[in-house]
Amino acid sequence: MYKFAAIQMASGPSVGANLLEADKLIAEAAQAGARVVALPENFAIMGESELDKVHIREVDGSGPIQTFLSEAAKKYGVWVVGGTTPLVAEDDNKIRAACLTFNDQGERINRYDKVHLFDVSVPGTDEEYRESNSIEAGDIEQVADSPFGKLGFSICYDLRFPEYFRRMVRQGAQVIFVPSAFTSKTGAAHWEVLLRARAIENLCYIVAPNQGGFHTNGRQTYGHSMIIDPWGGVLDCHKAGKGFAIADIDIERLSQTRASFPVLSHRKFYVGEHHGS
């Protein structure tokens, strides 16, 4: 068994201040025994406007945010799943929202670009989000090998698309990360139930670090960062304020559960795929 941690922040517009806070929380999680530490979406910046992140976007492989992630992983001897880092896109006015993962030697082992973009008006509020105005969508899922099991990667709004999670599980994913900045309104209604549903239907662990608190741009995020087991049980939840959820991930237990309850092998219909593929 290995401990995983899901860090919760309330990031602001200052990259430097956010990185200092992230460093402190990674250190605390490592001290608590975590071998894998996941940061929330937009951990490095929650700007006054959606375009603020475009102004600090980095070239893939170089930049202060990427350097921070690599150095923190090596310094604390943990794998770091870096929420999202704004990277250069083909469109000069947009970014790629990239979840970058570094091993405990500070080496990058995976990049996942957010596929599903949050272009919605939140019912019952005056909140409107148009991520496609500043983010260029990715187009492929990512699964990576690790000493802690096969890792899958998603970001926030991806959570609402079960077929995306099933694609990762069909590639062997055992632990799926969901770094997020869920709004307070949608989080209260859907966050836990969606996370538990994705864990149950895929018989996988879910590690979900979330933004949590009030942000200087007027936005409020839901928090409740949590880690969920393959049976849908919430192993730990950090409800409010900065901090982290931490729990043991038991891949042997997951394998036994999948073997004794072989729901994944009973699938009959394949969305967007040929039956039996």
Q: Is position 274 within any domain?
A: no
**Model confidence at 274: pLDDT above 60:** no
pTM strictly above 0.85? yes
pLDDT, one tens digit per residue, over 205-255 is 999 999 999 998 888 999 999 999 999 999 999 999 999 999 999 999 999
Tokens of 145: 């090998």
Those residues with Cβ within 8 angstroms of residue 98's Cβ, 6 or more apart along the chain or in another chain: 60, 84, 85, 86, 87, 111, 112, 113, 114
Q: Is position 51 within any domain?
A: yes
Rounded to 5 degrees, what angle do the CA atoms 260, 262, 264 make? 150
Q: Is position 271 within any domain?
A: no
Q: Is position 58 within any domain?
A: yes
Rounded Cα–Cα distance for residues 26 and 39 (Å): 9
Q: How many domains does the chain have?
A: 1
Rounded alpha-carbon distances, angstroms, from residue 26 to 73, 134, 158, 205: 9, 28, 25, 21
Phi-psi map region of 243: left, alpha, beta (phi>0 left; psi -120 to 50 alpha): left
pLDDT, one tens digit per residue, over 23-52 is 999 999 999 999 999 999 999 999 888 889
Rounded alpha-carbon distances, angstroms, from residue 192 to 9, 119, 267: 18, 21, 25
Domain residue limits at 60: 2-266
Q: Is position 132 within any domain?
A: yes
Alpha carbon of residue 187 to chain centroid: 15
Tokens of 156: 């926030």
Q: Is position 226 within any domain?
A: yes
Residue 50: active-site member? no
Q: Which phi and psi angles does 214 have, rounded to 5°?
A: -95, 140
| CATH label of the domain that carries residue 120 | 3.60.110.10
Q: Is position 127 within any domain?
A: yes
Q: Where are the beta strands (DSSP E) in the chain?
A: 2-8, 34-39, 79-82, 85-88, 95-102, 108-113, 119-121, 128-130, 142-144, 151-153, 175-177, 205-208, 212-214, 220-222, 225-228, 234-238, 243-249
Q: Which of 21, 28, 41, 141 is catalytic?
A: 41
Residue 156: active-site member? yes
**Model confidence at 275: pLDDT above 60:** no
pLDDT, one tens digit per residue, over 117-168 is 998 887 877 778 888 999 999 999 999 999 999 999 999 999 999 999 999 9
Q: Which of 3, 53, 94, 114 is catalytic?
A: 114
**Model confidence at 199: pLDDT above 60:** yes
